Chain A
Amino acid sequence: MTGADKAFLLSQGRDGLLTWASQVHVAETLGCSLGQVEEAALAEGLLPSRYQRNRTTFSIADQLSFRRARIAVVGCGGIGGYVVEGLARIGVGTIVVVDPDHFEESNLNRQLLCTIATLGKGKAEAAANRVAAINPAVMVAACCERLTPENGARLLGGCAAVVDALDSIEARKELRGVCDDLATPMIHGAIGGWYGQLCDAFPGDAALDRVYGCGEGPGEQTRLGNPAFTPMAAAAFQVAEVCKIITGQGKPLRGRALMLDMSEGEAEAVELVDESR
């Protein structure tokens, strides 16, 4: 944007806020994208009105960091749908969504993006449509393919963090290898029945070895199922982890795992360090 463009943009603000109608007007007048307007506004200290309720939690500088961040969500089912929703609403600028699957009826009990209208539709595509309905300034790269060690760098390169919203332990171990190679933090979340577990695996961390080190089975969800509330809870924590990693606020779940028991209304953080240490 030129100096004149920025002056025009600033002239459209009221009380430090830029309404959606003004954002659209600026984009149309200057011939640039809604995302470019959002980023330029934040860089000039003008807050898009949609982020007013973010403001006392996150500064305009934090909001600009969200805008400039690229975050991947691998898996777009129960957890992933809510994670995409949260990232789009918080204002992450680019979301990479990876999922090869299509919605089926058994997803209707919990998956945010699964509706009667989306049955049979691709999950990654549904995520892109949902984000466009919330904020067209957010870019979505919808990848309708399974993440593998071969395509991992192509799909996830340049991401500040990768959210693990997969539904199998084997796929998670594979994702962890890709994230380690890319030196990108992986934000782990897994659920089953009333229960959930969360932790951040930074490059080289043994976090995934700790949470999955002992057992060899597929996980308790195969026996316990997945009701509506557990993916919501796991996703909320994972979105908060993304926000902490981007802004430096708070204390990430690194070296710790948070175990949720929604049946008893409890959360327990455990240290992921060896007893010998």
Chain B
Amino acid sequence: MADENTVTIIVKLFASFRPGRFREASRDYPAGAQVADVIADLGIDPKEIGMIFIAGKHADPDRALKTGDQLALFPLLGGG
């Protein structure tokens, strides 16, 4: 349960970030945590991040998390 020291967010992972992790999960982080902290917590190499969305809109890794945020992470794709 979120208190003033914790933020609770929904994390959605896409494509190759899913296998071995999850599709969608509610997760708690310390107040003041940023998107980059979630990426590190999930063991994702920041270099593999293609897009970051919060509530369906682009966000940056230094965005501070707020309770209720819906964070979506997509991997970098470059093949053709």
Contact = CB atoms under 8 A, between A and B. Distances in A.
Interface of A: 75, 77-80, 164-169, 172, 189-197, 210-224, 226, 230-231, 257, 259, 261, 264, 268, 270-275, 277
Secondary structure at chain A's binding surface: helix, strand, loop or mixed? mixed
Given A217-B45, A271-B57, A277-B57, A190 B80 contact: yes
Interface string B18-51: 1000000000000000000000000001111111
Q: Which 6 A-B pairs have the closest CB atoms?
A: A219-B78, A221-B79, A217-B47, A195-B15, A215-B76, A167-B80
Please classify how large the interface on chain B is, using the bins under 10, 10 to 19, 20 to 34, 35 or more: 20 to 34
B51 to A, nearest CB: 6
Contacts of A169: 76, 78
A197 B58 contact: no
Contact of A275 (B58, B61, B77, B78): B58
Given A210-B51, A268-B14, A275-B54, A217 B80 contact: no
B7 interface: no
Contacts, number: 123
Contact of A195 (B47, B61, B63, B77): B77
Nearest to B57: A275
A241 B49 CA distance: 26
Given A193-B15, A214-B49, A217-B45, 13 more contacts: A167-B79, A190-B78, A191-B80, A192-B15, A193-B16, A195-B14, A215-B47, A215-B49, A216-B46, A220-B15, A270-B56, A270-B74, A271-B56
